[in-house]
Amino acid sequence: MNEDKAHFAPVDPVKAGFSASCPRCGQGRLFDGFSTIKPGCSNCGLDYSFADSGDGPAIFVILLADFLVVGLAVWTELTYQPPLWLHFVLFGPMAIIVSLWLLRTIKALLIALQYKNKASQGTIDRG
């Protein structure tokens, strides 16, 4: 694994997360469709079967999207006191869009970090 890793310049996990690309080469796409992980990288052939972000992305999406959207809604209310329907029209779709974008981005970021740090299930060393 280390010898074939040497052919690739290290990819910044944040960059790989925002572009949803392969954590090893930074070129191939990570997702097949919206948030389904592809079997492997089409560019460098990295097997994505190690990738398991589990429930990790969901909690970050909840925390960040809530902070952003509810914070903005409260600020808007306190600053402009718009009618209630405007809140629904504005912040309803915004909550959905921000959540979906964050879900994809954070999932890719966590997988890139998992790859970089070689994180996996715990094993017992029976040396």
Nearest to Zn ion of 46, 111 (CB atom):
46
Q: Are 99 and 70 in contact (CB under 8 A)?
A: no
> Measured from the CB of residue 40, what is the shortest distance to Zn ion in angstroms?
8
User: How far does Cα 126 stand from its chain's mean position?
Assistant: 35
Subset of 59-98 contacting Zn ion (CB under 5 A): none
Sequence-separated (6 or more) residues with CB below 8 Å from residue 29: 20, 21, 22, 38, 42
Contact string (CB under 5 A) for Zn ion, positions 16-55, x = contact = ------x-xx--x------------x-xx-x---------
The nearer residue to Zn ion, 46 or 110, going by C-beta atoms, is: 46
Q: How many residues bind Zn ion (CB under 5 A)?
A: 8
Q: Give dist(CA 109, CA 107) in Å, integer.
A: 5
Q: Under 8 Å CB-to-CB from 56, ≥6 apart: which residues? A: 106, 107, 110
In whole angstroms, the minimum distance from the beta carbon of 39 to Zn ion comes to 12
Of 25 and 65, the one with the shorter C-beta distance to Zn ion is 25
List, in sequence order, the alpha helices (H) in the chain: 2-5, 13-19, 56-80, 84-116
In the complex with Zn ion, which residue's Cβ is closer, 15 or 87? 15
Give me the residues that bind Zn ion (CB under 5 A), please.
Answer: 22, 24-25, 28, 41, 43-44, 46
